[in-house]
Amino acid sequence: MSGSKTEGTPLIHVDNVVAGYLPGVNILNGCSLTAHEGEIVGIIGPNGAGKSTLLKAMFGLVTIHEGTVSLGGSDITNMRTNKLVEMGVGFVPQTNNVFPSLSVEENLRMGLFLRPKKLRQRLDAMYDLFGNLHERKDRSAGALSGGERQSLAMARALMMEPSVLLLDEPSAGLSPVRQDETFIRTRKINKTGVSVVMVEQNARRCLQICDRGYVLDQGKDAYTGAGRELADDPRVIELYLGTLAEDVDSQRTDLTK
């Protein structure tokens, strides 16, 4: 992690958030997270720990009962999603993240409905970043492969030029090769200046590309640290061995380079 990334006001800061879907049933129980400009922050942890709920709470999709979320120092707690998108927050849900009956380009247009004047410029930028989408721009999104669909979902969220992109398990359901491509693409997006907060089941791969990681357990941030440090932390390995040891495979792309 470069020192400069963690200086100054955090880009997004979750402070002691208590949140849940139903009244009286909290899923997040005092959860905190910080992402600085330029960082990739990973959220890992066991099933049901509240990882997706944390992302949804940051994006106004789950009611926050206590605690705050701020963006560049401004309070965005429980703000409506359309307002958050205007303010520079992008969100890619795990499923149902494209309109299958619309073409690739129509999906991208939908991503920019709030700022139509920039359409050509943003389309060109996305086709530049995701070459495979340009070749398929007239194809219906429902006919894309899983990896292509994930690219389209990311590109759609990037159309509004967010400062931070929230990704919910971008590698879920993809083959190992496509998973690696997704991680490499995420890093490429980050290099264009977009900060990333990503939830991942694929813990070790995620920690390889993150500047920092958070391990969530029962709705709280249990451990945090530099991505590669966390991956080697015996406490984390002991607690989440099943998750962390799953994909050490020398045949796969080295994401650390």
User: Where do contacts with ligand ATP occur on this chain (CB under 6 A)?
Assistant: 21, 27, 45, 47-53, 201
Residue number, 58 or 144, with CB nearest to ligand ATP:
58
Task: Report the nearest approach of ligand ATP to the CB of residue 203 (Å).
Answer: 10
Task: Report the nearest approach of ligand ATP to the CB of residue 241 (Å).
Answer: 16
Residue number, 151 or 202, with CB nearest to ligand ATP:
202
C-alpha to C-alpha distance for 64 and 58, rounded to whole angstroms: 9
Strand partners for 122: none
C-alpha to C-alpha distance for 109 and 186, rounded to whole angstroms: 21
Task: Report the nearest approach of ligand ATP to the CB of residue 213 (Å).
Answer: 14
Bridge pairing between strands 40-44 and 63-71: unpaired
Burial class (CB in 10 A: 0-12, 13-18, 19+), 94: middle
Residue 161: count of CB within 10 angstroms of its CB: 16
C-alpha to C-alpha distance for 225 and 217, rounded to whole angstroms: 15
Task: Report the nearest approach of ligand ATP to the CB of residue 39 (Å).
Answer: 21
Residue number, 45 or 111, with CB nearest to ligand ATP:
45
Please give the C-alpha separations between residue 240 and each of 3, 170, 207, 215, 237, in angstroms, as whole numbers: 28, 20, 13, 9, 5
Which residue reads 């359901």 in tokens?
A: 173
Task: Report the nearest approach of ligand ATP to the CB of residue 49 (Å).
Answer: 4
Query: Which two three-digit tokens encode residue 174?
Result: 């993809």
Number of Cα atoms under 13 Å in the Cβ half of residue 170: 31
Pick from 149, 166, 158, 226: which is nearest to 192 by CA? 158
Amino acid symbol at 196 = V
Residue number, 45 or 225, with CB nearest to ligand ATP:
45
Task: Report the nearest approach of ligand ATP to the CB of residue 3 (Å).
Answer: 30
Residue number, 38 or 93, with CB nearest to ligand ATP:
93
Task: Report the nearest approach of ligand ATP to the CB of residue 31 (Å).
Answer: 11
Residue number, 189 or 216, with CB nearest to ligand ATP:
216
Residue number, 52 or 151, with CB nearest to ligand ATP:
52
Residue 232: count of CB within 10 angstroms of its CB: 12
Note whether 141 and 172 are within 8 A (CB): no
